[in-house]
Structure 1
Amino acid sequence: MLSQGFVSAAAIAASVLFILSLGGLSNQEKAKRAVWYGIVGMAVAVFFTAFGPGIGAYWLMIPMMIIGAVIGAYVAKKVDMTEMPQLVAALHSFVGLAAVFVAWSADLERRRVLAARALDAGTEQFSAFAALVATKAPDELMFLQVEVVLGVFIGAVTFTGSVIAFGKLAGKVDGKPKQLPGGHLLNAGAAALSLLLAILYLNGAGFWTLLLIAALAFFIGYHLIMGIGGADMPVVVSMLNSYSGWAAAAIGFTLSNDLLIVTGALVGSSGAILSYIMCKAMNRNFVNVILGGFGGSQGPAAEIEGEQVAIDAGGVASALNDADSVIIVPGYGMAVAQAQNAVSELVRKLRAAGKQVRFGIHPVAGRLPGHMNVLLAEARVPYDIVLEMDEINDDFASTDVVIVIGSNDIVNPAAQDDPNSPIAGMPVLKVWESKQVFVCKRGQGTGYSGIENPLFFKENTRMFYGDARSSIDSLLSQID
């Protein structure tokens, strides 16, 4: 059993490592080292917490830790990069559900302590947490109740919201925004009723109030995320990441665990900041994101004139051979086809031929923030040619060829031209301003978000149909 001094020192060390990890993730070159900071920090946190003072039942805890570690290692090896967004959403749901269970357990232990006090019984048989509760004054127990309510409510919203986000990302739930009759009034009513139940609970009502609060919060999480369209799912994942952090912080206060408080606050604040940045990138209102109030159309979409014109690999290769400047815009289709290595080889051959090749990355490309950057780094694409939207958007007008790989909304001119579009006002990559645009796409469908794209019908656009990996592979042998 380790002393409290060791545990406190370990908590400070782990917190510093987590901060270094978050800071390093902002830079591609430092990201690998930053991940190791996080791994070591979590290992320190788990070890010193598990063997700290007041912890017991190792006969149960250690097997659970081993089982969890084995499952985690198995999932990490099995999950492809294309499935990473839904994996993140699933992990968020675990955090939320854990917060609910811990909060319920904390209240049951609180009631046990109060019952023992009423009977003037001893505390020798109490759990470590109940013994801690037994030392609290009445006003401190009131704060504990507030923490329990927050843990239940935030955790429950995070759980069902993350489950629906997982379903939408995995294609198991329709990506279109859907709400029950009454819309946001249902969410507001459930939130108001949760507040009323919280007041009753704080004034001595039974455990049933926490059960009802959890049920209402489960509904809110479900209905919020169901009301958000697939095009906005990257922001949703980031937002749920923030929710899971605040749920963890609330439980940290409940358990008097400083490390959990710090870690939860780091996750919650970083997720909120990232959500805000992404909302700015999509021209969305941050409050509307939190309330699930966006993602639907504002009226009838503008009619699209023209037709989609297909082109074969020979035509695309000929244009690339004649071009001096090329910009590649990757999207989730590249991830699905696992085409990043083929794209990297295409870039190598084009650059060897003396052509300027760069990548244009939209802040919400793919279904997870930074998804495209990770894929390109995995394929060893040089960092210096991977540019953000703001860095490259003005260069499209002077670019010979743009290759769009599996992207739809982030290159959709309707965001600027059609006020009734579901993505109206969203900043996009202005690929249509280039001389020629080739779109690698599996078919003529509208894609994940269900939004039609006028880019596909423009005179300077040609559709390069087929699996992205096979399509890029077919170009390699034809590049001079």
Structure 2
Amino acid sequence: MNFATYSPSMYFMEATYLIASILFILSLKMMSHPDTARRGMFLAEGGMFAAVVGTLIGGHIISWTWIIAGLSLGSIIGAWMAVSVPMTAMPQRTALSHAFGALAAALVGIGEFLVNINELGPVKRGALGFEIILGALTTTGSLIAAGKLQGIVPGRPIQFKGQNIVNLATAAAMAGCFFYFWFNPEASAVFYSMLGIAFLFGVMLVIPIGSADMPVVMSLLNSYAGLAAAATGFVLGNNVLIIAGTLDGFSGFILSVLMCKAMNRSITNVLFGGFGSVIAEETHSAGGVMREISLDDAAMQLAFASRVIFVPGYGLATAQAQHAVRELADMLEERGVTVKYAIHPVAGRMPGHMNVLLAEANVPYSALYEMEQINPEFPSTDVAVVIGANDVVNPDARDNPKSLIAGMPILEVDRARSVIVLKRGQGRGFSGLENPLFFKSCTSMLYGDAKSSLTHLAQAVQHV
């Protein structure tokens, strides 16, 4: 750009973009640790606010009517979602955010095609093609992910014979349309075919993935949405979109790799392996009997323990029991018990799900321990309390080389002197695997709603 032609408003816009970019980078750094994650979110919000203000003041606004309408409608919907969506539904709300962001990128791409396609050079046409493809497939893929998480779409993998071949053929057709459009930008039929195939590919990409792999899928969709935003930035010549989208895209991809490592899976295995359906077919029994414990006996164990570790899982989220576990932990600490929380990286339905829930209950960050930190402490722990977790504490991953989850890192709660598992019933986990932990001699089962069980445990501990 020729800065000599800049007006004061354009200088202001570029200055706010610089500030926004710095805030985005700092927020990403702060969100890498629970102690600073909340401040990181505030910085990200400030960066987005600066970017919006800079665009509105520095951009060439033709009409404010649709902008004001969009800001009003979006603010109302965002405020309603923030107030009404429970923490248990945060994964599906996040998936919807990915869908909306990606759809916005796709719509901008369509607008650029209709208005400015003849003015775009080869580089920007290529960016426009990527924007359309990534935006469209992320939109439908995120909607399917949200449907699986909400239970609207079956959580099990939806598969059919030759599905991978169909997916590859769809991807090839999409790529073919992209290259044809790149060399023939006025081929509107090819452009819209590419758009439609991308929407279809998003559905085909996510439906064969089981719910057990949703944390990785969420990270990948986040990455796709970010890359779509970056491509939009290239098309529009918008620096802050390029920076923010690139940060989002690559951080999401890195997180996906880390999540796969935590599950001992590869990304290709997640995308094409049908993990959920394979596991669901495994019907062998771990053998033995699940030993039920009474509320009073469980309270007695906790009250006279020296060290207790709480292990939260998705059952904690569904029961909205985060405040109840904090109250029980506070009561134990008043009795001199050392209390810690063990956090598995893929516990829940999205990365950091358990951290978010416990933070809502004001559990101190210093009490949260990652898997590598807490595993060496289980042998010296008197009681490990597993709250709605299943697959992340399954010892078969460590002990049974023939298990379909062999090698997946787990929280080694079975090494504690005593284990109390809070479950609604005797069902299996999200992946469908039976858990030998529940049949071990050191394990006792406390059945019922997790929130109710924790509340009654706290009352019982108080009277011990």
The TM-score normalised by the length of structure 1 is 0.90
Unaligned runs of 5+ in 1: 115-132, 134-139
Q: 1:82 to 1:374 in 2, by over 3 A?
A: same
**Residue 11 of structure 1 corresponds to which residue in structure 2?**
17
Aligned partner (choices 207, 221, 243) of residue 240 of structure 1: 221
Residue 21 in structure 1 maps to residue 3 in structure 2: no
Deviates more, 1:243-252 or 1:268-277: 268-277
Aligned partner (choices 456, 464, 478) of residue 438 of structure 2: 456
What CA distance in whole angstroms lies between the structure 2 residues aligned with 1:307 and 1:288?
34
Q: Deviations over 1:375-402 (max 9, x none)?
A: 2222222222211000011221222211
Tell me the CA shift for residue 295 of structure 1.
Answer: 4.2
Unaligned runs of 5+ in 2: 1-6
What CA distance in whole angstroms lies between the structure 2 residues aligned with 1:94 and 1:424?
37
Tell me the CA shift for residue 416 of structure 1.
Answer: 2.5
**Residue 118 of structure 1 corresponds to which residue in structure 2?**
none
What CA distance in whole angstroms lies between the structure 2 residues aligned with 1:308 and 1:278?
31
- The 3-state SS of whatever aligns with 2:49 is helix
Residue 79 in structure 1 maps to residue 60 in structure 2: no
Residue 106 in structure 1 maps to residue 107 in structure 2: no
What CA distance in whole angstroms lies between the structure 2 residues aligned with 1:417 and 1:302?
16
What CA distance in whole angstroms lies between the structure 1 residues aligned with 2:8 and 2:326?
50
Answer whether contact 1:231 1:409 (CA < 8 A) is retained. Answer: no
**Residue 67 of structure 2 corresponds to which residue in structure 1?**
61
Aligned partner (choices 282, 287, 306) of residue 305 of structure 1: 287
**Residue 358 of structure 1 corresponds to which residue in structure 2?**
340
Q: 1:207 to 1:292 in 2, by over 3 A?
A: farther
**Percent of residue pairs bearing the same amino acid type:** 46
- The 3-state SS of whatever aligns with 1:323 is coil
Deviates more, 1:250-259 or 1:350-359: 350-359
Residue 467 in structure 1 maps to residue 449 in structure 2: yes
Tell me the CA shift for residue 288 of structure 1.
Answer: 3.5
Answer whether contact 2:345 2:371 (CA < 8 A) is retained. Answer: yes
Residues 75-474 of structure 1 aligned to structure 2 (within 5 Å): 75-111=81-117, 114=118, 133=119, 141-204=121-184, 206-289=187-270, 294-297=275-278, 300=282, 302-419=284-401, 421-474=403-456
Residue 31 in structure 1 maps to residue 37 in structure 2: yes
- The 3-state SS of whatever aligns with 1:280 is helix
What CA distance in whole angstroms lies between the structure 2 residues aligned with 1:367 and 1:197?
35
- The 3-state SS of whatever aligns with 1:438 is strand
Q: 1:374 to 1:53 in 2, by over 3 A?
A: closer
What CA distance in whole angstroms lies between the structure 1 residues aligned with 2:205 and 2:289?
37
Q: 1:420 to 1:105 in 2, by over 3 A?
A: farther
**Residue 56 of structure 2 corresponds to which residue in structure 1?**
50
Answer whether contact 1:302 1:418 (CA < 8 A) is retained. Answer: no
Tell me the CA shift for residue 361 of structure 1.
Answer: 0.6
Q: 1:210 to 1:442 in 2, by over 3 A?
A: same
What CA distance in whole angstroms lies between the structure 2 residues aligned with 1:38 and 1:229?
32
- The 3-state SS of whatever aligns with 2:151 is coil
Q: How many equivalent pairs are there?
A: 454
Equivalent position amino acid for 1:194 in 2: M
The TM-score normalised by the length of structure 2 is 0.93
What CA distance in whole angstroms lies between the structure 2 residues aligned with 1:223 and 1:441?
34
Tell me the CA shift for residue 39 of structure 1.
Answer: 1.3
**Residue 125 of structure 1 corresponds to which residue in structure 2?**
none
Deviates more, 1:10-19 or 1:191-200: 191-200
Answer whether contact 2:391 2:430 (CA < 8 A) is retained. Answer: no
- The 3-state SS of whatever aligns with 1:297 is helix
Q: CA RMSD in A?
A: 1.9
Tell me the CA shift for residue 292 of structure 1.
Answer: 6.6
